[in-house]
């Protein structure tokens, strides 16, 4: 549970007056529906190189946005000034936009029903607001972690950084909802680099610490992430990696750690089950989707052990929220059940188009000056009811690879053909780890890959991974999203040798 509350200075903004002015003006100008969003977002990024500060930047954006529906057509306008007069004029501009666009609109907007939430408040779960920690203290922690790595044999350079964000929103609509929210997230980064001057080569290894829907506690000591152990292990693992043999390409059994599998979930399930992509409404950044509506309820997405949920409520999830940017309360629902494709991610416009009575709360805008669009929930692979350990999964493999950590990836514009690499690759022989391998990538189609999943680990192996920078739309927007998963065992996946593929 969070011990925080919404910052007093945000609560002191004239939220009610702005809402009354904007919503009243919109209706008087001819809107059948209107909503107001006040949005303040603060970002900070600190970067060190070899323990020395390279940059420390903080930026803040504050403004209001008004959406309206006029004769079944959307209109949108925004402004940086927060006064009732400006709010009213912004609403009238939104109505003008809708009126101008109406002759071009081929489909009338219909919003799915949602209960009214009056005077609701939600704050994400965190212990220490990163923006309450003095910048020199943050730099000091990153510098100290860098020093630990630089003092180890074989480490020539260290890159250390942290990104933090705090989002505060107030939402009100003509249905009667009024909602105030605040959420915080932190992304630590740490990379150790070794250089071989004689060979003219280098290699690196990064922390496995994921982005965290919480506060500075993720970097302050070992209570959230065990920095002591990882900083001690990184130089040893990197030294072993640079001496390890290159992988032999071919069909291979894989045990994939959550620190790698989260990204495969994001690309091959998260984006593929966004309904706007599936119907061709959205194609920017990540393309459309092979998982089209005619396959809903019938397509075998994966093996029977595959159960995937979309969840905007999980604690510390980057996409977790109390209510979305259309005033819809956060929920959890199935996307894949027992291997069968059963659900999409929806907002209040797309839910009726799919024949659903309610949105599942997937509307988000990253700025007061961007219109809310359908965005990804925390999409997660569920663990086995039996508490199967990662070691148990490895013990089932006679000849294979254990993959840990994410790195580069590639996927086609239908979210179907893909290739992923990783950070660390361990040879499995006769159910035991036998050192590291290099130059590993795995390649498959989405359905072949998930149908090759023989077993998933239990709850003790389940972890949240994620990204700060999921891109979508034109103009482009960025959202943070988490993906939880257990370790998992896959049979006969095609493994590539990236050195051979690149011709090096």
**Residue 327's closest CA among 376, 353, 363?**
363
Q: Are residues 343 and 417 in the same domain?
A: yes
Domain-located, residue 487: yes
Q: Are residues 265 and 203 in the same domain?
A: no
Half-sphere exposure of 385 (CA within 13 A, CB side): 1
Domain ranges, residue 90: 8-242
Domain-located, residue 302: yes
* Whole-number pLDDT of residue 2: 45
Tell me the C-alpha distance between 88 and 64, whole Å: 11
* Whole-number pLDDT of residue 244: 95
Query: What residues contact 160, with CB distance under 8 A and at least 6 apart?
Result: 47, 48, 51, 142, 143, 145, 146, 189, 190, 191
Tell me the C-alpha distance between 478 and 165, whole Å: 12
Contact 143, 21 (CB under 8 A): no
Tokens of residue 371, six digits: 């219109």
Tell me the C-alpha distance between 232 and 170, whole Å: 44
Tell me the C-alpha distance between 28 and 23, whole Å: 9
Domain-located, residue 3: no
In this prediction, the residues of the chain whose per-residue pLDDT falls under 50 are 1-2
Please say which residue of 217, 242, 267 terminates a domain.
242
Tell me the C-alpha distance between 222 and 229, whole Å: 9
* Alpha-carbon 343 to chain mean position: 19
Domain-located, residue 411: yes
**Residue 206's closest CA among 222, 194, 189?**
189
Domain-located, residue 391: yes
Question: How close are the terminal C-alpha atoms of the chain, in Å?
Answer: 51
Q: Are residues 48 and 92 in the same domain?
A: yes
**Residue 409's closest CA among 443, 436, 381, 438?**
443
Please say which residue of 242, 271, 305 terminates a domain.
242
Tell me the C-alpha distance between 442 and 410, whole Å: 11
Cβ density class 456-491: b for 16+ within 10 Å, e for less: bbbeebbbbbbbbebebbeeebbbbbbbbbbbbbbb
Q: Are residues 203 and 304 in the same domain?
A: no
Domain-located, residue 2: no
Helices 227-242 and 135-150: angle between axes, nearest 10 degrees: 40
Q: Are residues 234 and 303 in the same domain?
A: no
Cβ density class 325-352: b for 16+ within 10 Å, e for less: bbbbbbbebebbbebbbbbbbbbbbbbb
* Whole-number pLDDT of residue 367: 97
**Residue 187's closest CA among 159, 213, 205, 169?**
213
* Whole-number pLDDT of residue 128: 96
Q: How many domains does the chain have?
A: 2
**Residue 3's closest CA among 121, 126, 185, 183?**
126
Q: Are residues 216 and 291 in the same domain?
A: no
DSSP notation for 270-330: ITTTBHHHHTTS--TTT---S--GGGTTT-B-S-TT--EEEES-STT-TT--SB-TTSPBP
Q: Are residues 322 and 197 in the same domain?
A: no
Q: Are residues 390 and 275 in the same domain?
A: yes
Q: Are residues 213 and 257 in the same domain?
A: no
Domain-located, residue 212: yes
Distances in Å between the alpha carbon of 376 and those of 127, 409, 470? 26, 19, 9
* Whole-number pLDDT of residue 206: 96
Q: Are residues 230 and 271 in the same domain?
A: no
Tell me the C-alpha distance between 315 and 1, whole Å: 8
Please say which residue of 242, 274, 296 terminates a domain.
242
Tell me the C-alpha distance between 350 and 455, whole Å: 34
Tell me the C-alpha distance between 264 and 411, whole Å: 10
| Strand locations in 80-208 (E) | 120-123, 157-173, 178-196, 201-206
Q: Are residues 187 and 87 in the same domain?
A: yes
Q: Say which CATH number the domain at 222 has.
A: 3.30.2290.10
> Global pTM?
0.96
Half-sphere exposure of 323 (CA within 13 A, CB side): 26
* Whole-number pLDDT of residue 196: 86
Tell me the C-alpha distance between 94 and 463, whole Å: 43
* Alpha-carbon 262 to chain mean position: 10
Domain-located, residue 1: no
* Whole-number pLDDT of residue 225: 97
Q: Are residues 98 and 118 in the same domain?
A: yes
């Amino acid at each position: 549970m969070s011990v925080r509350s919404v910052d007093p200075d945000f609560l002191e903004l004239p939220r009610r007056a702005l809402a009354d002015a904007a919503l009243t003006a919109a209706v008087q100008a001819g809107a059948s529906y209107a909503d107001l969003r006040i949005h303040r977002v603060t970002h900070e990024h600190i970067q060190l190189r070899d323990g020395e500060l390279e940059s420390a930047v903080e930026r803040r954006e504050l403004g209001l946005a008004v959406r309206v529906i006029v004769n079944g057509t959307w209109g949108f306008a925004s402004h940086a000034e927060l006064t009732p007069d400006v709010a009213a004029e912004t609403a009238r501009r939104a109505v003008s936009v809708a009126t101008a666009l109406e002759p071009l609109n081929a489909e009338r907007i219909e919003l799915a029903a949602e209960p009214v939430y009056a005077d609701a408040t939600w704050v994400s779960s965190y212990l220490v607001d990163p923006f309450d920690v003095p910048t020199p203290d943050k730099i000091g922690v990153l510098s100290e972690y860098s020093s630990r790595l630089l003092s180890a044999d074989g480490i020539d350079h260290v890159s250390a950084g942290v990104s933090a964000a705090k989002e505060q929103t107030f939402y009100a609509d003509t249905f009667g909802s009024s909602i105030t929210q605040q959420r915080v997230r932190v992304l630590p980064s740490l990379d150790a680099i070794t250089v071989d001057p004689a060979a003219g080569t280098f290699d690196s290894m990064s922390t496995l610490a994921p982005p965290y829907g919480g506060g500075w506690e993720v970097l302050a000591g070992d209570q959230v992430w065990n920095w002591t152990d990882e900083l001690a292990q990184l130089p040893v693992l990197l030294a072993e990696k640079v001496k390890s043999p290159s992988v032999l390409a071919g069909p291979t059994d894989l045990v994939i750690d959550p620190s790698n599998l989260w990204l495969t979930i994001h690309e091959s399930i998260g984006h593929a089950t966004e309904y706007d992509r599936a119907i061709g409404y959205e194609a920017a950044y990540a393309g459309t989707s092979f998982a089209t509506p005619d396959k809903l309820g019938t397509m075998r997405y994966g093996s029977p052990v595959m159960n995937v949920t979309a969840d905007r409520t999980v604690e510390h999830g980057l996409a977790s929220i109390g209510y979305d940017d259309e005033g819809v309360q956060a929920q959890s629902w199935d996307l894949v059940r027992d291997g069968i494709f059963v659900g999409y991610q929806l907002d209040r416009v797309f839910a009726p188009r799919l024949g659903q009575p309610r949105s599942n709360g997937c509307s988000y805008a990253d700025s007061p000056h961007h219109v809310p669009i359908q965005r990804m929930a925390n999409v997660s692979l569920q663990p086995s009811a039996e508490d199967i350990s990662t070691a148990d999964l490895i013990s089932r493999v006679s000849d294979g690879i254990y993959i840990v950590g994410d790195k580069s990836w590639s996927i086609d514009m239908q979210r179907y053909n893909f290739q992923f690499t990783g950070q660390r690759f361990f040879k499995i022989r006769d159910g035991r780890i036998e050192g590291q391998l290099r130059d590993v990538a795995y390649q498959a189609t989405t359905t072949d890959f998930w149908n090759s999943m023989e077993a998933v680990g239990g709850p003790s192996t389940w972890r949240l991974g994620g990204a700060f920078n999921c891109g979508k739309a034109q103009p482009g927007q960025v959202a943070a999203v988490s993906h939880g998963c257990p370790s998992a065992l896959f049979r006969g996946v095609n493994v590539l040798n990236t050195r051979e593929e690149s011709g090096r």
